[in-house]
Amino acid sequence: MSERPLNVGLIGGGRGAFIVHPHQRAIHFDGTRRVVAAALHQDPDVAMEEAEDWPFPIHGYRSYDEMIEAEKGKPLGERVDYVLIVTPNNVHFDPAMKCIEAGIPVFCEKPLTVTLEESDKLVAAVKEHNIPFCTAHTYLGHWSSRLSRHIVRSGLLGDVRWVDSSYLQGWLASRTEDMGVMQAEWRVDPKRAGASCAGGDIGTHALMQLRYVTGLDVTRVQAHLVTFVEGRQLDDHFTTYCELSNGGKALVRASQIAIGHKNDLCIEVNGTKATLFWRQEEPEKIVIHLPGQPDRVYWRGEVQANDGFLGDMPEDLMAEPTAPSGHPEAFHDAFARLHRCFEADVRAYQEGKPWQSDGSKYANVEDGRMGIAFVAAAVESSQKGGEWVDVP
């Protein structure tokens, strides 16, 4: 018999909001999860109006406090099974902490918090309550990110010497924040965005892609944060030269003034035997460069074990539900894969079975914290003129 769908509660996502919509599609992707409740806006009246106008019936709440309080008292099956937080960065910590304390698993947008102190508190609370927690690093959900991770971590490139991980955009190349674009308004405001705009918003994705694919950590950074657009308090261009935990080196960079780049997350990993290249704007393929050989291009859905480069393929990777090759998968599929893996952990948690949140299927709370620690170190380094700073 099929299982009941999991109930999801939203925090944020009303009137003109962006990322709630890809999430909502991803939640409903498999038919095994559904949105049932929401506190959609900081203004309680707007929150209720927006819930009324939702495309299908949901239980609207006037605030997230009201939602958490009401939902935690309901029996399992009637209450929300997990909460999705899609508010600006400064409204992640408080609802996330309250959900954890109420025993509600959390799927939280990145960057995890605006301060390292808050991230540390969330890590401790997740540990204490032993509860599933996802930090929404979308791009780990591409099947090709899973394959990249397998290729690099199983040593097929040899030892990792150098990684170039970048996330380039051009949408803040002029004062977008003055054009009534709410997504730009809060991103350039240190109170709502945190200590870095480009670094926090998209540099954390570039860092997470590096960590997920290679299994390496950035141990220290030399950083230069630049504000090209006049009048901004935060960086719109973020460059870090990094030392890696295996002694290798990396560039992790992010820019929002790179006109022509849209959501251009790229990673190149140079090993002692081969190089891997992947780009999110063409997320279906991975290119492998081997010395003296033609390049190998691996397309999702067309990967065979033991082909002369790949060895045995992990069963779980080959068993991941994907569309037939040639029917393109992209952003929404990546989000759906994260929610699908999180759902499995939430169900196991509820049934008292072992569950993972180990970072292999989605970024967990420690991964979210590493993003904030990296940004904090980069901001400090930049303020000191590019001196080396350890990542705490």
User: Which residue ranges make up the site for ligand NAD (CB under 6 A)?
Assistant: 11-15, 17-19, 39-42, 64, 86-89, 91, 109-110, 136, 138, 182-183, 186, 201
Closer CB to ligand NAD, 24 or 270, in the complex: 24
- E strands, 102-158, are 106-108, 133-135
Instruction: Give the nearest distance from C-beta 382 to ligand NAD in angstroms.
Output: 21
| Closest CB 272 distance from ligand NAD, rounded Å | 33
CA 248 to CA 243: how far, in whole Å? Answer: 6
**Pick 194 or 248: Cβ nearer ligand NAD:** 194
Q: Nearest 5°: phi and psi at 351?
A: -90, 0
- The nearer residue to ligand NAD, 15 or 262, going by C-beta atoms, is 15
The C-alpha atoms of residue 235 and residue 254 are separated, in whole angstroms, by 10
**Helix/strand/coil for 359:** coil
Is 104 or 310 the residue whose CB approaches ligand NAD more closely?
104
Tell me which amino acid residue 127 is.
K
Which residue's CB atom is positioned nearest to ligand NAD?
A: 12
Q: What is the DSSP letter of 390?
A: E
- Taking the complex as a whole, the smallest distance from the CB of residue 306 to ligand NAD amounts, in Å, to 35
- What minimum distance in Å lies between the beta carbon of 128 and ligand NAD? 24
Give 16 or 292: the residue with its C-beta nearer to ligand NAD.
16
Provide the minimum distance between the beta carbon of 92 and ligand NAD in the complex, in angstroms, as a whole number. 6
Beta carbon nearer to ligand NAD, 12 or 132: 12
Q: Which is nearer to ligand NAD, 90 or 382 (CB)?
A: 90
Residue 160 dihedral angles phi and psi, to the nearest 5°: -80, 125
**Nearer of residues 22 and 301 to ligand NAD, judged by Cβ:** 22
Our CB check for ligand NAD shows the closer of 133 and 298 to be: 133
Q: Of 166, 191, 233, which is closest to residue 89 (Cα–Cα)?
A: 191
Closest approach of Cβ 126 to ligand NAD, in Å? 18
Q: Which amino acid is at 5?
A: P
Question: Measuring CA to CA, which residue among 120, 116, 79 is closest to residue 99?
Answer: 79
Q: What is the DSSP string of 161-189?
A: EEEEEEEE--TTSS-GGGTT-HHHHHHT-
Tokens 């909460």 -> residue: 83
170, 259 contact by CB (below 8 A)? yes
Q: Least distance to ligand NAD from the beta carbon of 89, Å?
A: 5
CA distance 181 to 309: 47
Please say which residue, 68 or 86, places its beta carbon nearer to ligand NAD.
86
Q: Cβ 256 to ligand NAD, closest distance in Å?
A: 12
From the CB of 215, what's the least distance to ligand NAD, in Å? 22
Least spacing, CB of residue 252 vs ligand NAD, in Å = 17
DSSP per residue over 207-262, as a string? HHHHHHHH---EEEEEEEEE--STT-SS-SEEEEEEEETTS-EEEEEEES--TT-S
Residues 6+ positions from 21 with CB-CB distance below 8 Å = 13
Please tell me the distance from the alpha carbon of residue 23 to that of residue 136, in angstroms, as a whole number.
Answer: 10
Each residue of 358-384: b (16+ CB within 10 Å) or e? ebebbbbbbbbbbbbbbbbbbbbbbee
